Structure 1
Amino acid sequence: MQDEAALRREMVDICRRMNATGLNQGTAGNLSIRSGDGLLITPSALPYDEMEPDDIVAMGFDGRYQGPRRPSSEWRFHRDILARRTDVDVVLHCHSVHATALACHHRAIPSFHYMTCVAGGTTIRCAPYATFGTQALSDHAIAALEDRTACLLGQHGQIALGKTLKQALWLANEVETLARIYIHALALGEPPVLSDAEMENVMLQMRLRGYGLNSEVEAPHQSQNHT
């Protein structure tokens, strides 16, 4: 993993890209990454275009933090997810428009499109609503993320996980794109869904190809048999 100074710089860059691409707006959303024995997390109520690497807050899993700035008000689910999910190192939360629109209806994203499986399953679940910053919201998020790397938060937004900051940003954009397509598809009626068996097949193919991951799986080599 990169050193802390490099992680801080990349976090600022990713946050600014979130807003520049329309994935997030204003001071909404937050970002964290595992670092040492704790995590680094974006500060509370500071616009991303004003944020500098030194504004990123270093936090322990005991909830204590260092520095002049307070951690994001959503620090609980960042801490709790990273504490429980040793398979990921990054938690990205944003209020992307289409994913949030579905979340306002407490509507999960079904397997209407094969790409739904980028979050690790046949659906992208929607967690029940709970007040922002509370332990209840954290508990709901953890349940919705079981065996998944993304979820919606009821009447709130979305969470995307990753091994790296870029991977989490990629996944958040995929979730937002799926949400936008699903909303358009719903205008024509409830779309058909792919079977669980087909989704398992798609997930297998994605794992073999390392789709969206820093995979060690190699692409097939061209045959050297010229007979």
Structure 2
Amino acid sequence: MPTDPYRELRRAVVETCRRMNAIGVNQGTVGNVSVRGGDGFLISPTGVPYDRLAPEQVVAMDLGGGWSGDWRPSSEWRIHAAVYGARPEAGAVIHTHAPHATALSCLRRDIPAFHYMMAVAGGASLRCAEYATYGTPELAANMLRALEDRTACLLANHGAVGFAPGLEAALALMAEVENLCRQYILARQAGEPVILDAAEMTRVLEIFKTYGRQDLPAPR
């Protein structure tokens, strides 16, 4: 039999799915994970519990929705395909139903710059995409508008989605998005958060261009 060129990517998707649930940014079989591969991407299948997910069940798809193998792809494959088609820098996409992010998505409001770490998603706010039925082209289109100049957003009455160059970075992003959403809820329970102004967030975003980079010289 020919060697599967995506064997390691399939294993990485399975591992990320399990880690996503283990760290609490997702639960059950909701949420989905994909990684770019060749001219398309590899995505978790629909309805398979992640603790029983095998690499061969990860589905290879093209950007037009074609897929191969014995397993059906996630019902949310369109949002993944849309990101890969529109954002060449995206190497992995993760969609979650994280509790706090999902709760805030039901308010259908953008989350403002209450904390400088909002810059982790690329801007001064975490936008909420307009509502559309799950799995539809309309949802994918709404998501892309909310992701303009961003790497993550909320999906109204649904959850959150984000992308990064690789799976590890994408999972870290979604964990931070959930953490920020939890912090925002706590801050609102205690009072009215003080929002950082545009000038400060511009400074923060400039600094964030080197955030986490170990390949750069130490600051003086």
Per the shorter chain, which TM-score range?
A: over 0.9
Partner residue in 2 for 1:68: 70
**1:155 partner letter:** N
Query: Are 2:48 and 1:55 equivalent residues in the alignment?
Result: no
What residue is the counterpart of 2:216 in the other structure?
218
Give the Cα–Cα distance (whole angstroms) in 2 for the partners of residues 195 and 77 of structure 1. Answer: 32
Q: TM-score, normalised by structure 1?
A: 0.92
Larger Rg over CA atoms: 1
1:59 aligns to what SS in structure 2? strand
For structure 1, list consecutive stretches of 5 or more residues without a partner in the other structure.
223-227
What is residue 20 of structure 1 aligned with on the other side? 22
Unaligned runs of 5+ in 2: none
Residues 165 and 190 of structure 1, relative CA distance in 2, 3 Å threshold: same
Scaled by the length of structure 2, the TM-score of the pair is 0.95
The one-letter code sitting in structure 2 at the alignment partner of 1:45 is G
Aligned length: 216
1:181-201 Cα deviation digits (max 9, x unpaired): 000000122211101111111
1:221 offset after TM fit, Å? 7.2
Q: Percent identity, aligned pairs only?
A: 48
Determine the C-alpha separation between the residues in 1 that align with 2:217 and 2:183: 30
Provide the alpha-carbon RMSD of the alignment: 1.3
For the residues of structure 2 that align with 1:171 and 1:73, how far apart are their CA atoms? 22
2:205 equivalent among 203, 206, 211: 203
1:149 counterpart = 2:151: yes
Match of 1:219, SS state, is: coil
Cα distance in 2, alignment partners of residues 45 and 166 from structure 1 = 23
Match of 2:86 in 1: 84
Q: Which amino acid aligns with 1:4?
A: Y
Q: CA deviation at 1:103?
A: 0.3
Q: CA deviation at 1:204?
A: 1.3
Runs (4+) of structure 1 moved beyond 6 Å?
none
Secondary structure (helix, strand or coil) at the match of 1:33 reads: strand
